Amino acid sequence: MTYEPYTLCDFVRRMLRTAGRVAGRLGHPA
Amino acid sequence: MLENVVGREAELDRIGGFFRGEPESLALWLEGAAGIGKTTLWRAGIELGREREYHVLACQPTAAETAFSFAALGDLLRNDVADVLPELPGPQRRALEVALALASSGGPAVGQHLIGLAFLSALQLLAAREPVLVAVDDVQWLDPPSAAVLQFAARRLTTANVKLLVAARLEEDAQPLQLERDLAQNLLRVDVGPLSFGALHRLVLSRLGEPLSRPTLRKVHDVSGGNPFYALEIARFLLERGSTLRPAEPLPVPRTLEELVRVRLDRLPATVRHLLEAAALLAEPTPAALTAAASEPEREAGALDRALAAGLIELEGQRIRFTHPLLAAAVVSGIGPQRRQQLHARLAQIVSDPEERARHLALATEGAEAEIAESLEQAAERAARRGAPAVAAELAELASQRTPTTDHDARWRRLIEAGLRYATAGDLARARALLEPLTNEIPPGPRRAEVLLNLADFRWDDAGAAIELGERALAEVGSDDACRARIHMVLSSRALEAEAGSALGHSRAAYEAAERAADVELTLLALVNLVHVEVCVGEMTPGLLDRALARVSIDGARDARIPHFESPHFVLGLALLGLNRFEEAKALFDRARVDSLEQGVPFAAACADEFLAEVECRLGNWHAAALHASECSELYQQLGTQNQPQQLYATALVDAHLGKLEEARTAAERGAAIATEVGEEFWAIANRRVLGLVELSLDNPARAIEYLRPPARTHIASLWHMPSNCDFLETAIEAFVGVGDLAAAAQLLDGLQERARRIDSPWERAIRARCRGLLRSAQGDHDGARAAFDEALREHEQLNLPFDRGRTLLALGALQRRLKQRRAARVSLEAALAVFEELGARLWAEKARTELKRIAGRTPAGDALTPTERRVAELVAEGHPNKEIAATLFVTVKTVEANLTRIYAKLGIRSRTELARLLVDKSPVPERAQTST
């Protein structure tokens, strides 16, 4: 399996989520 | 070629203009209905490009449902890949080789971004030699991985030396393609419409060698709607039938274009039809492949030549193409279901690409079959390793559907695989739809725990649901310590957000489990996350941070197994930022940034840039800060997600420091509004603080307070113990002191003190001392103020934070001036001035100069109040609010505010209270003589 769940710290998770929300997407923007 | 283009003078003119840069645009977008003549113009465009010395990379994808990943990318780079590969950076070279199946796909999966980056680099390398034209026909049929790569590159192309020529079929109800949306600002659209009657006449004559009578041609033009492909087919039909139409006789032709084409195909010999059928189903038909596919090669030997002679297909090198995609579509739709399955079975035996073979196999039968499911699963794995997760997901899902129902294990494995691939490709909704039902099917145990963990990971918007799923996973995970560590990490991050208070416990458990699993990378990630949580919670385990720092070396190679978002450098950078160890944080963020750029992950690089901009502001490297802020904006622009509150914060902060106040205001106001809208208080506060700082720079504390009123829910913002929260409090204190609301300032100072109970640092001590000094000074406790400023400056001796130090010196100097300690005041203020001048802090240098001028004890003429200012000052001193003053003086509130700003600057005061006091002491206010103008 190549996918592994993120080990993100809370802060990075929130940054990704914010970016996703601003872009109108769920999850991460990249 | 160009002389074969009939009736398209206007379109050719626009294509010519595109190459001349009139108007300047990156892409030419030819759009029109099927058969309208896009491909003819697309080819003419290539011809015109070549005449202008463009190097052409072209692909013509087909609608074949067996197309494999990166087929179009392979076509685009076919002639150049050997030249370009050796010049690409290592990771990009490998990515491109694996994607194009030039190298084995063993090892870690290739990221989609890296392939995009490699293609972009390849284009730039080629464009450095000569202008490059990337030409894509029928863009709607690009295989999805190639489309993603093209989009990635198109968004980032900055050189004028690369142009795109795209033909797209216009279909009813079709959504615009992502590429088209991305290029919207930089795209020249040419709508390819019907041919005129005259042009149609010339076309029929030139292609079929004889004219139609005028009335017949009129009917053909009407029926075909000026569509050249349709019109030619009708004309061909009529000419072959050899009779002329009587007036009013309807055209004796099938009603639809497809039927018309079918009539033509049906008249071909069976051998030619069979050859065309195989060609239409193959992803990359070649003469050799068609010979291999033939059931009776000897009988079918002449078929290829006959198909070529009939103008149905053409040869491009060894590649066979239908002369028009409508022909291929008609061939496919004419194959009966049984014959189609036989053909796919035959083709599965002869094609070499595993992905294409698996697709042919799947299309050769219906229903479950172990062998087919197996080959689809293998194809899925291969596509995933080549960097095409969306294709891998689709193949794995197909594999699960073809798995015999009795084989639960294989079905679950394939469904899990499909779900996780969809997640990798960014389609979390599809991933959840596949995985959620499995939690009821799979019996409790480690396998179900893993599914639950992934579902928890997908719940970005619902911390409660994520925690519930994580806890269920934890109950079943058993002895799989690596999985247990990941479950604890998800729980830790979500617990911190939900304030469940168990974040620290989960982080520690994650670290222990990862160590037990002896998984080096996982242990490192768990360690840096634990350190970060310890900083957030304010409970540091002695020695743990040093252990993490020792493992995360700045110079070592990046660990390829650790995904970019999880950069341990970045997380440790955040922890050090929380501890106010700015220089060290900067080195870690910079390393994270470089890694992310190298890996082609703009988002992660942008995140690092945000914090680098902030840290460089603190460290006094404002030029570097500005570069990071602009790189940050650029990266988000490339991602197509502008107006991120964190990016606007970085931009605004730098502009505020540099005195570009209007720019700073615009960015920060937008950033604060967007952050509030998406519910991210942390970034709302950071942006509002910049707005406060801007107003303080203008000596406008009353307006600063508008932005700095303490937020209702400070706990979210303070969650991460970040220095920007301290900035917010510090700026607010200065503003409240400025307007004389000392109670509010004192309360905020308590808030600053509260932070120190968790973690303290020399920087925060210095900030607190300066704030205390400002408060004491306003309270009239001059000795207390003096001591506080001295304490702050002592802390600054160990720190390298010039702007903060300069502001402290300015505050001290102003106090000394008011206490008539002229020599000391001059020393402090000159030191402050030197700091501000070196930084380029224009407005703050001006403040220092103003204070210096006042030391002499005289008020220079330029600083006397004008009659309006005097009137405003008096009304303010009498306690009238700005609105009333504006009404009294028949001016706007803004004018009153502007006057007040000047009054404060001229009188060297900061608040209405001070103004009132001054007017009582010294009335009348000095007034400058009006000069006639």
Residue pLDDT, tens place only, B24-64: 899 999 999 988 999 999 999 999 999 999 999 999 998 88
Indicate the Cα dihedral angle B722, B724, B725, B730, nearest 10°: 130
Residues of B in contact with A15 (CB under 8 A): 607, 646
Under an 8 A CB cutoff, do B641 and A23 touch? yes
Selected residues 109-138 of chain B with any CB under 8 Å from a CB in chain A: 109, 113
Task: Record the pTM.
Answer: 0.77
The amino acid at residue A9 is: C
Under an 8 A CB cutoff, do B490 and A6 touch? yes
Tell me which of A1, A6, A8, A10 to substitute to probe the interface with B (most B C-beta atoms closer than 10 Å): A10
Residues of chain B with pLDDT under 50: 713, 858-861, 923-933
CB-closest option in A5, A12, A29 to B570 = A12
Q: Which residues contact B321 (CB under 8 A, 6 or more apart)?
A: B60, B62, B313, B314, B315
Phi, psi of A16 (to 5 degrees): -65, -40
Residues of B in contact with A3 (CB under 8 A): 420-421, 423-424, 454
Q: Which of these, B805, B801, B734, lies nearest to B771 by C-alpha position?
A: B734
Judge whether residue A24 has pLDDT over 70. Answer: no
Interface contact B694, partner A, CB < 8 A:
no
pLDDT at B183: 83
Q: Please state, in angstroms and rounded to a whole number, the distance separating the CA atoms of residues B748 and B704.
A: 15
Complex ipTM value: 0.84
Interface contact B767, partner A, CB < 8 A:
no
Q: Which residues contact B462 (CB under 8 A, 6 or more apart)?
A: none
Supply the DSSP symbol for B237.
H
The tokens 């199946």 sit on which residue?
B101
CB-closest option in B428, B486, B528 to A27 = B428
pLDDT at B243: 65
Which residue of chain A comes nearest to B423, CA vs CA?
A: A3
Which residue of chain B comes nearest to A30, CA vs CA?
A: B603
Q: Which of these, B389, B387, B393, B479, lies nearest to B430 by C-alpha position?
A: B393
The count of other CB atoms within 10 Å of the CB of residue B829 is 26
Measure A24 CA to nearest chain B CA, in Å.
9
Interface contact B603, partner A, CB < 8 A:
yes
The tokens 């001054």 sit on which residue?
B918
Indicate the Cα dihedral angle B768, B770, B776, B781, nearest 10°: 130
pLDDT at B930: 40
The tokens 């992660």 sit on which residue?
B604
Specify which residues B191 forms β-bridges with.
B31
Interface contact B793, partner A, CB < 8 A:
no
pLDDT at B499: 66
Indicate the Cα dihedral angle B627, B630, B636, B637, nearest 10°: -130
Phi, psi of B168 (to 5 degrees): -130, 135
Distances in Å between the Cα of B849 and the Cα atoms of B54, B503, B761, B814, B826 are: 59, 50, 32, 11, 10
pLDDT at B164: 96
Q: Please state, in angstroms and rounded to a whole number, the distance separating the CA atoms of residues B94 and A29.
A: 25
pLDDT at B867: 74
pLDDT at B554: 62
pLDDT at B932: 37
Under an 8 A CB cutoff, do A16 and B603 touch? yes
Tokens of B148: 């993603």
Kindly tell me the number of DSSP H helices and DSSP E strands found in chain B: 49, 7
| Three-state DSSP class for residue B303 | helix
Q: Please state, in angstroms and rounded to a whole number, the distance separating the CA atoms of residues B675 and B672.
A: 5
